[in-house]
Amino acid sequence: MNINDLNFKLSRRTLMGGAALLAATQMLGASNARAQNADRKFAAALGWTTYDSGRHLQDGFTAAVQELGGNLTTTDAGFDAKTQTDQIDSLIASKPDALFITPADAVAIAPAVQRAITAGIPVFCADSAVPGVAVNTTSMSNNFGMGAYSCEHIAKKLGGKGKIARVLLPQNESWDQRTLGMEWTLRRYPDIKIVADWAFALAGNVTPRQAVDNILTANPDIDAIWCAWDGAAVEGTLAARAANKPDLIITGIDGGSQAFTYIAGPSQLKLSMAQSFYEMAYLSVFYAQQHLSGKKTPRLVITPTYAVDESMLKAGIPDDFDVPGRAAELGWVRAV
């Protein structure tokens, strides 16, 4: 063995030993942080826990509290604003160290959120902003950008000319921004005509499937359907199959296993703007911990969105794409 080989082995051994020590130190630091934060009491007033979006949000809150420390109480409003308002008031009375909220109807629950702030409880929102209320941190997607991007996808597929319908989601002010982004994109495509609109109402009796059935019956020559969320896009795909419309183009917004399965099919559902719900929730807990430790926190965080099409799902359907770092491992690049 020459001296260079010896130096290499010593250097490599030193490097590996240093890496192991760093990893051990990081694990010890995380363990210490959990111990220091163990007595912190958190509450989450979730607007919904159904669908992939609700499940990923709930998983993000749960994992973050487990990893960063504290105890978590969770409620589920099932998309009902009155129920969520009552749940927020009940959680205020329990005096948590911080309150996490995912609003289904942000305007309707704004007074309850303000009551939490007035009571001195730090509030952290995920997925949607609450208008007129100064919460500590909101972690959410670029809704305007997602609407614009998915509309651009349709416009390019149609070569800038065709007939489209829209399934809208005006219930939440943040979600409605998707429609505004879509409309901004269409200004550059005057030969694309909107021939039908349907606005979903949480308390309504018409399902997205029924609405798309009616749209396709009234407009048999339609080329595409832009949907403000994946639930409508999936139901629209089922309607397109029933109507024997194999060439119809459908896009959605949210991401998750259900939509990805249809996209990979392949099917009429061609694109989902996949949001980082898990990361939104995790950020809420992380910044609550930072705030309670006397550190600065951002007022607004825009989390990554990935424009997922069939080509990105060749290796399988990932359910953990929105765990921080996982999208990079998959080779996915942030679109918005």
Helix/strand/coil (H, E, C) string of 10-73?
Answer: HHHHHHHHHHHHHHHHHHHHHHHHHHHHCCCEEEEEECCCCHHHHHHHHHHHHHHHHHHCCEEE
Residues 6+ apart with CB under 8 A from 73: 41, 42, 43, 44, 91, 94, 96
Q: What is the pLDDT of residue 31?
A: 66
Q: What is the pLDDT of residue 171?
A: 87
- Tell me if the pTM is above 0.85: yes
Q: Work out the angle between the directed axes of helices 257-264 and 51-68 (0-180°, nearest 10).
A: 130
**Beta-sheet pairing, 224-227 with 162-168:** parallel
- pLDDT tens per residue, range 19-57: 443 344 344 455 677 888 899 999 999 999 999 999 999
Domains in the chain: ranges and CATH:
35-141+277-303 (3.40.50.2300), 143-275+307-330 (3.40.50.2300)
Q: What is the pLDDT of residue 30?
A: 59
Per-residue tokens: 225: 């359907």
Taking 3-state DSSP, the helix, strand and coil percentages for the chain, each rounded to the nearest 5, stand at 50, 20, 30
Q: What is the pLDDT of residue 34?
A: 80
Q: What is the pLDDT of residue 66?
A: 98
Per-residue tokens: 273: 């703007």
- pLDDT tens per residue, range 243-290: 999 999 999 999 999 999 999 999 999 999 999 999 999 999 999 999
Positive or negative torsion for Cα 247, 327, 254, 185: negative
Residues 6+ apart with CB under 8 A from 196: 165, 166, 215, 218, 219, 222
Q: Would you say 73 and 43 are in contact if contact means Cβ atoms under 8 Å apart?
A: yes
Residues 6+ apart with CB under 8 A from 37: 68, 69, 70, 289, 292
Would you write out the chain's pLDDT as a tens digit for each of its 336 residues?
A: 454 444 444 344 343 344 443 344 344 455 677 888 899 999 999 999 999 999 999 999 999 999 999 999 999 999 999 999 999 999 999 999 999 999 999 999 999 999 999 999 999 999 999 999 999 999 999 999 999 999 999 999 999 999 999 999 998 999 999 999 999 999 999 999 999 999 998 878 899 999 999 999 999 999 999 999 999 999 999 999 999 999 999 999 999 999 999 999 999 999 999 999 999 999 999 999 999 999 999 999 999 999 999 999 999 999 999 999 999 999 999 999
Q: What is the DSSP string of 258-275?
A: HHHHHHHS--SEEEEEEE
